[in-house]
A and B are shown apart, each in its own frame.
Chain A
Amino acid sequence: MTGQRTTRGGRIDRTRPVSFTFDGRGYQGFAGDTLASALLAHGVRLFGRSFKYHRPRGLLAAGTEEPNALVTVSRDAARRTPNVQATQVEIYEGLVAESQNRWPGLGFDLNAVNSFLSPLLTSGFYYKTFMWPRFAWHRWYEPVIRAAAGPAHAPRLPDPDRYAQRFAHCDVLVIGAGPAGLAAALAAAATGARVILCDEQAEPGGSLLDEPAGTINERPAALWIDEALVKLGAQPNVTLLRRTTAFGYFPHNMVGLVECLTDHLATPAAAAPRERIWQVRAREVVLATGAIERPLVFPGNDRPGVMLASAARSYLHRFGVRVGSRIAVLAGCDEAYAAALDLHEAGPVSPSWPTSAMRRWARARRRHGLLVCRSLNAPPCWPRPVGGESAA
């Protein structure tokens, strides 16, 4: 899977190129890109290494559910932030990002030798050994294991940034500004209730941002979002918090939010706090957090090139990036059809066959009587059962 930028579409601003570096190499993306989408557009597939065996890892998701693409982002020596998801980093001019948990480099990682030891390093292996001699756990074994663990380095200099906190009170707190959250906020605000609407993304809209062809009340999705935001913005009883993640639901409807204020800016003001903690007391809380696609289970599903179908749509529609030129669609829900169609429309989906591992997996599943589908190249790109098995 090698990604490429489409010629049009997406919610990026193609008139505003942004330069950044990843592992010391310069790249260019557009305003509105995440680190993940911008790198994917350049054909970058390798984003990290796994925790234990240092196996290569690519992007699985496009949002906050991304498990693989953890990077360290640094503004200067004291402002190094480890373990940030590349899918959550908005690029800015001069951004410096590095991959983690590899030596000497991401492409060639000597620690990958652990992979050969995988039969020894089974889950819980450390409970079963390193017990002899008695003192050796703390003196010999533990230091090696500790040094190997931890995917990144904590900052070494005191953090010079400022952080803010505030209390807030509202009648309705809506968490998530996707279609459901926006609708809930509109309905609540219309009654005169004090509303706080928060969303972890820079741009409200949630899943609608991945559905440009979708409609709500016969309005195109993008237009509906804009109208909703205008309506909400005009009401003094509504507070919209972007880049704000709800992180904890505490007793008596106290919800903790963290608002990222400057991490997306090329040159934040010196006095600006980097983040703000909100302690929101809400009479009612609406969780409109949407859904995330569950990955399918098959051998090798953690390798670069395997991505959630919903993520592929997200890269295409939000960021104008095709995730590859030869795409096999394999999904466990009706998202597969939409993904296959969208990806096909963005450029013909090449005849695609499962890799040998996936074919083996498919054969094994069939033996167990499960239905296996594969995507076909001919439009309409409609999966049909393999081997004549009935979909019923």
Chain B
Amino acid sequence: MLIINCPYCGPRPELEFSYAGQAHVARPADPSATGDDEWTAYLYLRTNTRGVHAERWRHARGCARFFNALRDTTTDRFRRDLSER
């Protein structure tokens, strides 16, 4: 069970969180003008990084807020200094 640093509540146990996948996946501004490949990339393609991964968590059973964090997927260690609201 990971310890995850919620930027609002501080370090808390993983049981309180929901994982929300890769961070910074932006929805195309105008879907109707977006080509199939770009739309597919938005919906399905993920970096699946082996290394430092920018990801989103939601403190679902805590303050309920989403936030971003950096975690090394080869060690599961968070870069605590860099989690942001």
Quick one: which of A20-69 are within 8 Å of B by CB?
A: none
Instruction: State in angstroms the CA–CA spacing of A250 and B3 once bound together.
Output: 11
Give CA–CA (A279, B2) in the complex, Å: 12
Chain B residues whose CB sits within 8 angstroms of the CB of A281 once the complex forms: 1, 3, 13
Within 8 A of B (CB), among A260-300: 279, 281
Q: How far is the CA of A254 from the CA of B13 in the complex (A)?
A: 10
Q: Quick check: is B76 within 8 A (CB to CB) of the other chain? A: yes
Closest to B4 in A: A252
Residues of chain B within 8 A of A369, CB atoms compared: none
Q: Give the size range of B's interface with the partner.
A: under 10
A254 to B1 Cα, complex, angstroms? 7
Residues of B within 8 A of A279 (CB): 1
Q: For the complex, give the distance between the alpha carbons of A251 and B13 in Å.
A: 11
Write the B50-85 contact mask toward A (1 if CB under 8 angstroms, else 0).
000000000000000000000000001000000000
- Convert B1-39 into 0s and 1s, putting 1 for each residue whose CB lies closer than 8 angstroms to a CB of A: 111000000000100000000000000000000000000
State in angstroms the CA–CA spacing of A279 and B13 once bound together: 12
Which A residues lie within 8 Å of B13 (CB)? Answer: 281
CB distance from A284 to the nearest CB of B (A): 14
Question: How distant is the Cα of A252 from the Cα of B76 in the complex, in angstroms?
Answer: 8
A109 to B46, CA, bound (A): 61
- Bound together, the chains give a CA A151 to CA B1 distance in angstroms of 34
Residue of A nearest to B77 (CB): A252
Compute how far the CA of A281 lies from the CA of B76 in the bound complex, rounded to whole angstroms. 16
The answer for the CA separation of A250 and B1 in the assembled complex, in Å, is 7
Q: Which of A302-341 contact B (CB under 8 A)?
A: none
- Residue among A250, A252, A279 facing the most chain B CB atoms (10 A cut-off): A252
B68 → A minimal CB distance (Å): 19
Q: In the complex, what's the smallest C-beta–C-beta distance from A195 to chain B, in angstroms?
A: 20
How long is the Cα–Cα vector from A377 to B7 in the complex, in angstroms? 72
In the bound complex, CA of A38 to CA of B84 (Å): 62
Find the A residue at minimum CB distance from B78. A252
Q: Please indicate the chain B residues that have their CB under 8 angstroms from the CB of A254 in the complex.
A: 1
Which residues of A lie under 8 Å from residue B76 when comparing CB positions?
A: 251-252
What are the residues of chain B within 8 A of A250 when measuring CB–CB? 1
A252 and B2 alpha carbons, distance in the complex (Å): 6
The residue in chain A whose Cβ has the minimal distance to the Cβ of B15 is: A167
**Chain A residues near B1 (CB-CB < 8 A):** 250-252, 254, 279, 281
**Minimum Cβ distance to chain B for residue A46 (Å):** 45
**Complex Cα–Cα for A298 and B2 (A):** 46
Q: Give Cα A250–Cα B2 distance, bound, in whole angstroms.
A: 9
Beyond A251-B2, A252-B76, A281-B1, list 10 extra A-B contacts (CB 8 Å). Answer: A250-B1, A251-B1, A251-B76, A252-B1, A252-B2, A252-B3, A254-B1, A279-B1, A281-B3, A281-B13
A-B contact list, 13 entries, CB within 8 Å: A250-B1, A251-B1, A251-B2, A251-B76, A252-B1, A252-B2, A252-B3, A252-B76, A254-B1, A279-B1, A281-B1, A281-B3, A281-B13
Top 3 nearest A-B pairs by Cβ distance? A252-B3, A251-B76, A252-B2
